[in-house]
């Protein structure tokens, strides 16, 4: 029994000494700052007073052993870290760029349209009565293809004009109304693949319907024309936050070359400013 107690005390004392040696080795293990400084001196370790740094000798003492020098017959081991380490704080955090490929974005917005071309002789005023819905699919981080539908209404009182009608003519102030509806395909190229503002340029092509109506006194003349449409666009997408929608500002030129009405309109062109919001 006594021998068993003695053996236990002996083992316990041996383990205690080994644990103390292990603690000392951990305390003296090189830290990041230690490695950055190019010395094996440990960083300030808690309450343990560290001796003041001694001035560097003018020439290395030849007799001083170097712990970094490999033993004879061995090559030098690679450094633990190639690049200098920075301080791991939120200021130096750079988010990983996520691929947008395959993602789908949807936008809707209000459109202000300026009529251009011959339709300006029919309805000349800038119209805020426009609406657009747009869906984009990202091919990669800088190219998006999509489809959109938009509606725009123009209303204008035209100066007193003579209109020729069948077997006669009407001279009157005309109350003119034009409504356009379009479905088009979009292709946008984003100049930047990431950033607080994403500018882009693009092309579009599709089809458009335009309903023209002109009221002179009790006479109402109307027609609906169908045409191919094409044009270009430029704009910016502004992500408003990590979990917030994306603001869209889009400037678009549209040309529908085959929409005619009353000899006044030979084509419909417009410049539209879209202010939208999406995801």
Alpha carbon distance 180, 234 (integer Å): 21
Taking alpha carbons only, the member of 182, 241, 174, 247 closest to residue 213 is: 174
If the CB atoms of residues 55 and 241 are measured against other proteins, the closer one turns out to be 241
If the CB atoms of residues 45 and 126 are measured against other proteins, the closer one turns out to be 126
Residue 277: Cβ-neighbour burial (10 angstroms; 0-12, 13-18, 19+): middle
Shortest distance, position 128 Cβ to other proteins, whole Å: 4
Shortest distance, position 244 Cβ to other proteins, whole Å: 3
If the CB atoms of residues 8 and 164 are measured against other proteins, the closer one turns out to be 164
CB atoms within 10 A of CB 224: 13
If the CB atoms of residues 172 and 203 are measured against other proteins, the closer one turns out to be 172
If the CB atoms of residues 2 and 160 are measured against other proteins, the closer one turns out to be 160
Q: Give me 178's structure tokens.
A: 């034009």
Shortest distance, position 196 Cβ to other proteins, whole Å: 13
Shortest distance, position 168 Cβ to other proteins, whole Å: 4
Shortest distance, position 18 Cβ to other proteins, whole Å: 48
Question: Which residues contact other proteins (rule: CB under 8 A)?
Answer: 109-110, 112, 127-129, 155-157, 160, 162, 166-175, 215-219, 240-245, 247, 275, 277
């Amino acid at each position: 029994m006594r021998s068993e107690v003695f053996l236990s005390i002996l083992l316990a004392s041996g383990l205690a000494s080994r644990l103390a040696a292990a603690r000392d080795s951990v305390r003296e293990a090189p830290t990041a700052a230690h490695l950055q400084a190019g010395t094996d001196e440990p960083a300030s370790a808690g309450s343990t007073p560290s001796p003041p740094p001694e001035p560097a000798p003018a020439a290395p003492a030849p007799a001083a052993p170097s712990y970094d020098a490999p033993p004879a017959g061995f090559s030098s081991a690679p450094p633990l870290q190639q690049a200098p380490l920075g301080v791991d704080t939120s200021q130096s955090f750079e988010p990983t760029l996520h691929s947008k490929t395959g993602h789908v974005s949807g936008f809707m917005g209000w459109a202000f349209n300026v009529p251009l071309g011959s339709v300006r002789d029919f309805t000349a005023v800038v119209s805020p009565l426009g609406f657009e819905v747009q869906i984009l699919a990202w091919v990669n981080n800088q190219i998006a293809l999509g489809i959109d539908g938009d509606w725009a209404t123009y209303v204008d009182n035209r100066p007193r004009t003579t209109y020729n009608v069948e077997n006669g003519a009407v001279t009157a102030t005309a109350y003119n109304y034009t409504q356009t509806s379009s479905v088009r395909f979009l292709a946008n190229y984003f100049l930047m693949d990431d950033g607080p503002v994403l500018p882009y340029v693009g092309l579009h092509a599709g089809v458009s319907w335009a309903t023209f109506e002109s009221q002179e006194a009790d006479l109402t003349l109307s027609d609906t024309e169908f045409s191919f449409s094409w044009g270009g666009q430029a704009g910016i997408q502004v992500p408003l936050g990590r979990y917030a929608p994306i603001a869209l500002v889009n400037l678009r030129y549209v040309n529908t070359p085959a929409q005619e009405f009353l000899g006044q309109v030979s084509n419909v062109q417009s410049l539209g400013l879209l202010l939208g919001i999406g995801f």
